[in-house]
Amino acid sequence: MAAALRILAASLAAFLMLASSGAGRTEPTQRLRDTSSSRLSGHILQVRLSELRPTQGAVGHDQIHAILGRWQGGPMPAVWQHESEYLRRYLRETLRKKFDDYCTTNGQGGLATGALEDLDTLYAARIDTPTSFTCTDAPGTHAAALKTVIIGPGNVLYLTDGHHTFTSFYETRDGGPDVAVHVWIDADYSHLDDATFWARMVAECKAWLRDGHNVPIAPNRLPTRLGLATPEQPDGLQDDPYRSLVYFARRIGYDNEGLPEFAEFMWADWLRPRLDLSRYRTSPPAAPDTILAPADLSKRHLAPEGSHDSYAAAVRDAALLMSAQPDDAPVAAGYTAAKLGRIHLQPDAPTDSPTSRARRNLTELTRNNTRPDDTPRTAGRLWYAVMYQPVSQPTPQQP
């Protein structure tokens, strides 16, 4: 008991030191020691990404690419290189946003006002070096923004929220397994045996035991690390293309605010037998212009317009399927279309109605980063995903 109390005291002392100094700790906690007689739930811990174990088998790889593509920015016109204000605005909405997202995810309220406004400072900043930029507040100040973990048998830290966000930090150019993050300890189940632990995780909707093809898997078949699975490194998170499809359909076919755990996986599994993604050109060898061909819905009848086989067309068709479901239509066990945020698209909808906003969100998916007058703008999520250029990452290290 004394050892457990010392661990708890050390964790709280470390957090209080962070809150008082406003600076990030440079050395994350490597691993919890004996917590079997203590309960650390409701506290904040700093860890490396390599210390977190996934509780789901897959993510939407294209969703990760959209996030990484936003941070990367995509190709830019040559004129921006000679117009410092254009370049600054462009980098503020792309490269600088990565650090703002990192600060927000750590419960620090985003980047501090005026931080990374100078281009040289922005270029030199790295998320694996938190001292290279300044967040608004101390880590954990905004606790509701923190991603959550559960302490499992053997004191393993299981991530229960934030697989896409943390995988993006893992995969970005200045990221990797050693990136330090702050997490909220949602529960301490370290006293349970493996079978009881996983039964409880599933019962509480804290684990999604399926692979990228929606095939059920045993807990010992879960990925052993964050990061994307590749042929060279298959131990990462597999790709579920329908999960990406649902991500791009946010605020088009459904509203993603306040949804239950794994709602987007539920929609993905519902769409899988109803929409054949192989009919659409969503990846190479199709050219980017083909993948990004715009798709729309007519205002009067909600008839499909534009491309019929681009990525945006797949999103449009998925949204139409979702929208057509009655409120009480079952999507997954215990969850109806209404409970999962389905947007009811209506013909001839007035301006600023949910339907009007959904149609606008659809057309913005493929928008590029340059206005007709060559000034920069925020591009669409699908455009960022397609324009993302992967970079090499360090070899993952097991915790």
**Tens digit of pLDDT for each residue in 122-177?**
999 999 999 999 999 999 999 999 999 999 999 999 999 999 999 999 999 999 99
| Mean predicted lDDT score pLDDT of the chain | 89
Q: State the CATH class of domain 2-226.
A: alpha beta
**What φ, ψ does residue 272 adopt, rounded to 5°?**
-50, -50
Distances (CA, A) of 133 to 110, 127, 181: 11, 8, 15
Task: List, for residues 60-90, the tens digit of each pLDDT value.
Answer: 999 999 999 999 988 888 888 777 888 888 9
Least confident of 84-93, 304-313, 330-339: 84-93
Q: Look up residue 243 and give its two tokens.
A: 């999960």
pLDDT surpasses 90 at 369: yes
pLDDT given for residue 338 in this prediction: 97
Question: For the ranges 79-88, 246-255, 383-392, which has the lowest average pLDDT?
Answer: 79-88
Q: Please identify which residue in the block is written with the tokens 């449009």.
A: 316
What residue spans in the chain does CATH classification 3.90.1530.10 cover?
2-226
Alpha-carbon gap, residue 132 to 87, rounded angstroms: 21
3-state helix, strand, coil in the chain (%, to 5): 40, 15, 50
Q: Shortest CA distance to 201 belongs to which of 187, 214, 220? A: 187
Q: Cis peptide before 285, with omega less than 30 degrees from 0? A: yes
pLDDT score at 1? 36
Q: d(Cα 181, Cα 50) in Å, to the nearest integer?
A: 10
The residue written with tokens 């101390």 in the block is 138
pTM attached to this predicted model: 0.88
